[in-house]
Amino acid sequence: MNVLASFSEYTDTNTPLVVVLGTFDGFHKGHQSLLCQAHKLAEKQEAKVAIVTFSAHPMQVLNPSQQPLTICQDWEKKRIEEDLGVSIVFSLPMSTKLLQVTAASFMEALWHLPLAGLVVGENFTFGKGGLGTPDQLIAYGKKWQTPVVISPLLVDKKAGRPISSTWIRQLIIKGDLEEARRLLGRPFMFRGEIIHGDERGRTLGFPTLNFLLPKELAVPPDGVYANRIYLGGSWYNGVGNIGDNPTFSNQYYRCEVHVFDFNQNVYGQEAVVTFEKQLRGEVKFVSLAELVAQMALDKQKAREYLAMLEPVDLSLS
């Protein structure tokens, strides 16, 4: 898969493209359905599938304090794009200059690609002030005899509402990870470096891998979770905590995961942590004995819950 920063970087004029337009900030099931439609059209047109998106949310330029927290890190987006058969990603650098490009100029630049088709969600807007609409893309497509597919928003049958990144972000922040997983089509996760902790967990019989949480990422509330860890090419089950360990003093905000049946020195390595279910909120215990007893219960609950889940091959590298 090639990642390009501009349309002009694509020079293979002999290979037509079916392009999907979107922000793809979560790559949830709605986004995935757009790519499925693009592949069907590309098969008919003997074309490759490409995505046109942006390197960051527009609010990063317009008002950074209002930029929404992400629910999908860049590495995960790339993995999903590859898994979904995307050949080219045009990741246009977000800037003041880009936000001043008119809808007409954007379409003119887009149609300089060897377009065999275009797929876009019905609520997609583009160009300066968001004045570009799917209807304009249809009109431009007719002018150049390019098929343009306007896809209705994918409605979740259970909830009876369209799937959106905003909705999923809210679910993650309030700790409803099972519902978020259902809408994403995968568990919520992050990747981070394993850092040194205070090693208190080891003395209590529950050694942990410690991580600082990415500041740009929406994270679940403080509490205890059933987790899965991808490390060194293998998946492990575990039970983790987000918070600052109120039972002890002079603590800092972090994620720490006790990995079952694991005893390796992995400081400095990167690992992926999935959040499968919140088991309870964070609690300040009055004694170490009470804490250790609760940790044993948390561990058992996590084992039981994770044993019920179907194994997921996320094809991580």
Res. 312 pLDDT band, cuts 50 70 90? low
Q: Is the confidence at residue 54, as pLDDT, over 50?
A: yes
Tell me, what's the pLDDT at 311?
63
What structural domains does the chain harbor?
2-156 (3.40.50.620), 189-308 (2.40.30.30)
Tell me, what's the pLDDT at 61?
84
Q: Is the confidence at residue 207, as pLDDT, over 70?
A: yes
Tell me, what's the pLDDT at 93?
94
Most confident segment among 41-45, 202-206, 290-294: 41-45
The overall average pLDDT reported for the chain is: 90
For 101-123, how does the pLDDT look when each residue is reduced to its tens digit (9 = 90+)?
A: 999 999 999 999 999 999 999 99
Tell me, what's the pLDDT at 290?
84
Q: Is the confidence at residue 248, as pLDDT, over 70?
A: no
Tell me, what's the pLDDT at 246?
55
> In this predicted structure, which of 117-131, 165-179, 201-215 has the lowest mean pLDDT?
201-215
Tell me, what's the pLDDT at 251?
59
Residue 242: count other Cβ atoms within 10 Å of its Cβ.
22
